[in-house]
Amino acid sequence: MVNRRFQSLCERSLYQSISLLELPGRSLRLLETFLLRPDLAIMVQHLGLDLEWIDSWEVPQEQNPSMLQPDGMKALSLAKNLHSFCLWGVDDWIWEPTQARYRETIFNMKLACLEIPVMSDVKVKWSCTRPRGPDSPPEWDGDLGAEIRKLLQAQPLLEDFALTETAISRETLSSLEDNLQPSDIPKLKSLKATPDVVAAFVSAGPRLKNLNLLLAAWDDFVLSKLSDAPTVARLSVRHYSIRVWYSDEWVWSHLAKVFALFPDAVHLSVAINAGTSSKEVEYAKHYFDKVWLSFVRQRLR
């Protein structure tokens, strides 16, 4: 009796929060466990999964448990008490026509926190692309901005949203800027994304309090988009962080203007992306002095 009670307490503690990012094999085994023990799946409140095991070079097909669905969605749907979810390893689930089961399962979650580490945007033009054969399906030509809105509309309880390693095209940004509504993100308080994506959300998110602006190239276009956001929305931001390259000359020439975007913020964090050599560390120290001077200059205006 004591051992069973101890086991129950341990399981509740162990399964409440699970992160298996970049661990596709262990993610597969966890989904197998959900199918065998649905009572454990219900305990999970915070979950990070890597579903790259659907690719044969990650986990050979013969190693997949016969009871497991090819995409794991049946098992994932058993975790009915998820509040926080992060999905790694599938970058086109939000729009790819063949990934409807991913969308159905994730849309049915009731999440307060959602992180999408990578999202592919077919309209981003890369210098190196995968060749397409004569039998390849036609390239998707839909509106990714509209698909992101559908995801947000399905999560009315969402308070924390992160797009951490996503390059989004100008077409998608324009779609979000033109169509994203406050009713799409009624409770969103925290956002982690590149500055151009943040600009689209700030305009529609008067409740946003915390912004984490990821490493990206700043320019006049991004600054103007953030500056054009409603004043009431920018004044609501209390905490924000930015990450910049110490070699980004544009940022260092306009840093005071960047700091002026959110004048009522009470907490500011600046991370300078530099190497670890002694020379690069010295460069970083020099630029932190610039951060301080720019901040003081902005506050004295």
Mean pLDDT calculated for residue range 99-124: 90
Q: Look at strands 239-245 and 210-213 and give their pairing.
A: parallel
| 3-class secondary-structure state, position 245 | strand
- Close Cβ partners of 52 (under 8 Å, ≥ 6 residues apart): 24, 58, 88, 89, 90
The 10s digit of each residue's pLDDT in 52-82 is 765 544 455 555 555 455 557 888 999 999 9
Report residue 126: phi and psi, to 5°.
-95, 150
Q: Based on the number of CB atoms within 10 Å of its own CB, is 254 exposed (0-12), middle (13-18) or buried (19 or more)?
A: middle
Q: What is the pTM of this model?
A: 0.84
Element (H, E) at 292: helix 278-299
Q: Please tell me the distance from the alpha carbon of residue 119 to that of residue 216, in angstroms, as a whole number.
A: 16
Q: Please tell me the distance from the alpha carbon of residue 52 to that of residue 27, in angstroms, as a whole number.
A: 9
Q: Which pLDDT belongs to residue 135?
A: 59
Tell me the percentage of the chain whose pLDDT exceeds 90: 34
Q: Please tell me the distance from the alpha carbon of residue 254 to that of residue 271, in angstroms, as a whole number.
A: 16
> What's the gap between Cα 188 and its chain centre?
13
Q: Please tell me the distance from the alpha carbon of residue 237 to that of residue 232, in angstroms, as a whole number.
A: 9
- Close Cβ partners of 58 (under 8 Å, ≥ 6 residues apart): 24, 25, 52
DSSP single-letter state for residue 55:
S
Q: Please tell me the distance from the alpha carbon of residue 299 to that of residue 260, in angstroms, as a whole number.
A: 8
Q: Which pLDDT belongs to residue 286?
A: 60
The 10s digit of each residue's pLDDT in 201-260 is 998 877 899 999 988 888 898 899 899 888 888 999 999 998 888 778 888 888 888 888
Which residue would you say has higher pLDDT here, 224 or 9?
A: 224
Assess contact for 141 and 128: CB atoms under 8 A: no
Mean pLDDT calculated for residue range 264-273: 84
Q: Is the pLDDT of residue 276 over 60?
A: no
Assess contact for 84 and 47: CB atoms under 8 A: yes
Assess contact for 53 and 27: CB atoms under 8 A: yes
Q: Please tell me the distance from the alpha carbon of residue 25 to that of residue 64, in angstroms, as a whole number.
A: 10
Closest CA to 123 of 175, 74, 177, 82: 175
**Cα Rg, the chain, nearest whole Å:** 22
> What's the gap between Cα 126 and its chain centre?
21
CA torsion sign for 158, 198, 256, 298 is: negative
Please report where in the chains the tokens 């390259």 appear, as a residue. Answer: 245
Please report where in the chains the tokens 């260092």 appear, as a residue. Answer: 252
Please report where in the chains the tokens 């692309």 appear, as a residue. Answer: 129
- Close Cβ partners of 108 (under 8 Å, ≥ 6 residues apart): 77, 154
